[in-house]
Structure formats: structure tokens, C-alpha cells
Structure 1
Amino acid sequence: MQINRLFEIVYLLLEKGSVTAAALAEHFEVSVRTIYRDIDLLSGAGIPVYCNRGRGGGVSLLPDFVLDKSLLSEREQDEILFALQSIAATHAGGEEVLGRVNTLFRRQGADWIEVDFSHWGWDWGSDEGEKRKFNLLKEAILGRWKLHFTYYSASGEKSERTAAPLKLLFRGGGWYLRAWCETRGAMRTFKICRIDEVSLTQERFEAALFNAAPETQARQNPECEGWHPPLMITLRFVPQMAYQVYDTFCHDSIQTEEDGSLTVRIHVPDDDWIYGMLLQYGEHVRVLDPPQVRKELLDRARKIISFYEENE
């Protein structure tokens, strides 16, 4: 459309300074005469575009010209740049868009975010695979394509899912996919690292139909599959574990005692995850409450000891 071509001509002139009419004609696959007509239209609309003839000439804008951005405050421009930087961190095409908007605003956004999907400090596989998965999920959300994937629940169940993806969430140090799960017939929140063999289907969906689904269902099932009612537990960590405690738990749930130990009070699902997490701390944590968690932890520790003794 002509209006799109006119805008892009202005953008190209802002970016490059001067472009020949022949180069513009080739870029837009139109005649040079059409480009000159476009220049006349821009000039008539008040855009200070002019032509220099001869060697080194071309179509240019007055040096001080900037597109009218009066509808956006500097703060709003920064917010747009920050959002584009977060996109560029995970999607190659974002860099081009970011560059164009930087040119449009005549300013450079702060280098404030970097997203790295590799496992920190460990060679656990290619982080490129995680980036591809992230970009595929993004493509499905923006394009309204249904997804098919394998999912491993918190209870260890493996299942095949078809879902309408609605948004990506970053919560509690991990990435999640919010989606309407056709397999379960309900809204679900999937942990992305547990999603495998993901692919786009050839079926589109209408997001508005699912966005109206009640949020209470998602809150009742934060990890969705294998979900258990929350349990309040009280933990006491030795002082040497402070760095891991602050890495793992919300600071509001942590209390430092006079001897330097740390007391943590949290609500957690009563499932395998919490016991696995507690066992990894070994002798550096004690469960103060409730008694049934202490008993279950002791039973699991005894099973581990028995397993290794039998295999010696």
C-alpha cells in the first residue's frame, strides 16, 4: 500500500541520510517516476524532503527532522525500547525492530536486560534448543496456532497435550506457558522446561474465547498436573546455607535468628517436589513443623540408605 511505502521512505531517509531515487525504486519494486510522485506527496504533507542532483546526490530529509513523537513522553519511549530489548534478547528479528525504533526516537535504549536459557555453569545440553522452544511458543501465541507437545507433570506423569497457548510467564525463577489444554478441558500453566517435542498444529484458535476463562482455576492448579493442596512448613537452615536460602525463598518468608541460622515459613504442595528439595539440603536443614513432613522425610532418607546398602 502507498501509505506503508511513504512511511518506509521516511524511515529509510532517517536511517541512511540520503538515498537515490533509483535505489528507492529498486527497494520498493516500483518505477523511479512513482518514487518522485511519493516525494511530492511527502513534501505536500509537510515532510521536509528534498532532492540533490548530480554525483553524490539523492533524496534526503532536512538534518534536524524527526518524526512527531509528541504523543509519547520520554518515559513512554523508554518503556517501548525496554520492551523491544526483552524481545531482542530471545528473538533474532527483535534486533531489527529495535534498531528502527531507536532511529525513529533518535535515542538509544539502556542495555538493561539479557535472557540466557543455558543452565548456569553446567553442560546439561544445548541452550539453543531452549531458545528454539521459546521462539516456537512465542510464534504460536502471536499467530494463534494450537500446539502439540509432550508434558512431564510434577508427579512424574508423561502425557501428550494439545493446547491453545495464551501467554508466557516468568515466575519464581522459571518460565511457564499459560494455555487452554484441550486434553484436560481446562486452563493450565505448564512449566516450559517440562515441555518436550513441541510442534505447531495447522489449527488456529480465537484467544478471546479462552482469555475469559476463570483465573481461579489456574490459581488452584499452579503447576496443574499432579497438584496437591498447599501445606505450611517451617524450616531451620544453618547459617552457611544463607546464600541458597535467599536464592530459593521469598525474603519475606525468611527470619534470621540470633545464632545466624535462618527460619523459613512457606506454603508448599505436599508432593515429591518438596521432599526432593529438602533432601538436597542434607544435614543443613531441619523441619520444625509439621511432624508428618519430618516423618516422611525420615522414611525417604532411610529408603535411600537401604538402596545403597543393598547395592554395595
Structure 2
Amino acid sequence: MQSGRLFEILYILLERGGATIPDLACQLEVSERTIRRDIDALSAAGVPVYAARGRRGGVRLMDGFVLSKSLLSAREQDEILYALQTLRATGAVQDGALLTRLSALFRREAVSWIDADFSDWGDSGERRALFELLKSSILERRVLAFDYYGQNGAAARRTVEPVKLRFKGISWYLQAWCRDRRSFRTFKLSRMERIALLDERFAPHGDPPPLDGNQAVSVPTTRIAVRFSPAVAFRVYDEFERACISPQPDGSLLVRTEWPVGAWGAGYLLSYGSHAEILSPPALRRHIAAEAKKIAALYPNADAPCPVSDATMEPSKPKG
């Protein structure tokens, strides 16, 4: 279409400073006559384009021209470029072409001041494919179906109308209108399996509630106190708010915070092994002690040969 071609001509002139009519015709795969008509159309629209003679001849723009400069301040232009840099980390922007074009249009350098990589170590590309699928579902307003693993470990098939992807803490979440619950729900991406993008379209239900604290993800919490040994101090400072951490004279760390009730919360504390002692509440302390006994019962004779040899063990399959 002509409007798209006019933009391409404008982009080329801004990026290169100028171009000949034959070069433009070749690159855009149209006739030189068409390019001349397009140049006239740009001029009629108020774009200061002109023909120059000599060694640096061809079609050029007047020095200092910036597309729609009056609509965006210099700071706003920078904010757009910085936002696009951050979006590249999610896969929403696949390459740097858009950044390059906007930098040329704004006549500003896209300073690479931040590099955020949300992919897991050893990521095979599945996360990026998932983001593409979710982006299509949200932007095209297409219904999504998937199995979702709840706190009890059981999977239930959900049919939802996706609204927004959100990142909070260390995890990605999908906010969507759940047809089963008839309300907005928040789903953790890592618990979604067998995801299917359906052809059915939906009408929006408005904006979802803010993802703020534990209430947004519908997880009950309780107040806990845990003493961590110095050996896991690096994890404690990574995973808890500084205001919740109290260094002790013996080098241990006392943490008081709100914590999710249920198997996930208990399992996470168990991941610290013998380096974490639950001080309160008593019910959680008893539960962790009971789980530790169950783990010990799996190894009544730890020095005995393993009942399954390495040769017969099948490699675990990646999630998909």
C-alpha cells in the first residue's frame, strides 16, 4: 500500500541521509515513476524532501527534520526506546529492527543501558514459544485452554480469556477471565500444561485487578519465624525482603514474614535442608519435622547399593 511505502521511503531517508530514485525503486520493488509520485506525495504532506544534484545527489530530507517531533519530547522518545529494549527480553520484540527504525526516526541513539533476561538457564526456547502463544491469545482475543496444577498437586482443565501477562517476584503470571469460576483469576505460567490456543474469540471483561501481594494469587498466608544458618545467607538475602531479616550475634539470620500456607510453602522451606529451623508457628514446625522424618525413612540404609542403576534410569523429559 502507498502509506506503507511512504513510511519506508521516509525511514530510508532518515537512516541514510538520502537515496537515489533508482535505489529506492529497486529496494521497494516499484517503478521509478512510482517513487517520483511518492516523493511528490510526501512533499504535499509537508515533509521537507528535495532533490539534490552532484556527488551527494538524490532525494534528501532537510537537515534537522524529525518525524512528529512536536508530538513527543526528547525524554518521551528516550522512554519509548528504553521500553522497547526491555520488551525484547520477553520475546515480544523479536529483533532490533524496530529499535533501529525508531532511533532513526527520532534522530536519537538507542543507548543499551539495561539487559534483562527472563529465560531460565539452559532454556531450550520453549519459554519464548509460550510467550508468542500467549501474546497472540491476548492481542487477538482468542480463548485459551490448559491444564493447571493447583496447591493440592491436582490438575484441572481451565478455559480462560487472557487479558495480561505480569511479572512479580521471580515468576510470570497470566491474568485472565476464567470461564469456570466466572471471575478474573491469576495463573502461574510454570503450572500451566497442555496449552491450546482456540479459534474462538471473546469480548473483553475490562481490566483485571492489580497483582498486589498474596491476595491477587488467592494464597492464604501465615506469620512465620525461621532461623537460617550462615551457610545459606546468600539465598536468604536473595529471597526475602531486607526488612524481614535480622542478623544474629552467632551469624545466623532470623526471618519474620508472611508465608504461603500449604504444600508449596512447606516444600520451599524444606529446600533449605538442615540450614533452616522453623521457630513458629508450632503447626508448621511440627509439619516440617514430620516431613523430615518421612525423608529420613526413605534412606534406612543409605550405604546400601542403589536399587536402580544409572544405566536403567531414564532421563527426565522437559516440560512441554
TM-score range, shorter chain: 0.7 to 0.9
Number of the residue aligned with 1:200 = 197
Greater shift in the superposed pair: 177-186 or 3-12: 3-12
In the aligned structure 2, how far is the partner of 1:219 from the partner of 1:253? 16
Number of the residue aligned with 2:171 = 174
Whether the 8 Å contact between 2:223 and 2:256 is mirrored in structure 1 is yes
SS in structure 1 opposite 2:70?
Answer: coil
Kindly report which structure 2 residues correspond to 1:63-142, keeping only aligned pairs within 5 A, or say none.
Answer: 63-89=63-89, 90-91=91-92, 93-111=94-112, 112-119=114-121, 126-142=123-139
Percent identity of the aligned residues? 45
Greater shift in the superposed pair: 101-110 or 58-67: 58-67
In the aligned structure 2, how far is the partner of 1:135 from the partner of 1:167? 13
Number of the residue aligned with 1:278 = 269
Number of the residue aligned with 1:292 = 283
1:145 corresponds, among 117, 142, 146, to 142
**1:241: how far off?**
1.7
Whether the 8 Å contact between 1:87 and 1:94 is mirrored in structure 2 is no
Task: Confirm or deny that 1:158 pairs with 2:160.
Answer: no
In the aligned structure 2, how far is the partner of 1:282 from the partner of 1:87? 37
What are the superposed Cα offsets for residues 203-231 of structure 1, whole Å, 9 maximum, x if unpaired?
Answer: 12223x242x5569996351x5xx4x211
**Contiguous gaps of at least 5 residues in structure 2:** 305-320
**1:60: how far off?**
2.2
What are the superposed Cα offsets for residues 150-190 of structure 1, whole Å, 9 maximum, x if unpaired?
Answer: 22223211122221111111111111111112233221111
**Contiguous gaps of at least 5 residues in structure 1:** none
Report the number of matched residues.
Answer: 301
What are the superposed Cα offsets for residues 212-265 of structure 1, whole Å, 9 maximum, x if unpaired?
Answer: x5569996351x5xx4x2111011112222110011112221122233221111
Distance 1:243 1:296, change over 3 A: same
Greater shift in the superposed pair: 11-20 or 275-284: 11-20
**1:10: how far off?**
1.3
In the aligned structure 1, how far is the partner of 2:273 from the partner of 2:74? 52
Kindly report which structure 2 residues correspond to 1:217-296, keeping only aligned pairs within 5 A, or say none.
Answer: 220=215, 222=217, 224=218, 227=219, 229-296=220-287
Distance 1:154 1:82, change over 3 A: farther
In the aligned structure 2, how far is the partner of 1:12 from the partner of 1:144? 34
Distance 1:183 1:47, change over 3 A: same
**1:4: how far off?**
4.2
**1:279: how far off?**
1.3
What are the superposed Cα offsets for residues 13-35 of structure 1, whole Å, 9 maximum, x if unpaired?
Answer: 11233333345445556543333
Letter in 2 for 1:201: L
In the aligned structure 2, how far is the partner of 1:27 from the partner of 1:204? 38
Task: Confirm or deny that 1:184 pairs with 2:181.
Answer: yes
Letter in 2 for 1:115: D
Distance 1:238 1:270, change over 3 A: same
In the aligned structure 2, how far is the partner of 1:116 from the partner of 1:217? 20
Distance 1:169 1:215, change over 3 A: closer
SS in structure 1 opposite 2:67?
Answer: coil
Greater shift in the superposed pair: 14-23 or 179-188: 14-23
TM-score w.r.t. length of structure 1: 0.85
Aligned residues: CA RMSD: 2.7
Whether the 8 Å contact between 2:226 and 2:279 is mirrored in structure 1 is yes
Which structure has greater helix proportion? 1
SS in structure 2 opposite 1:236?
Answer: strand
SS in structure 2 opposite 1:154?
Answer: coil
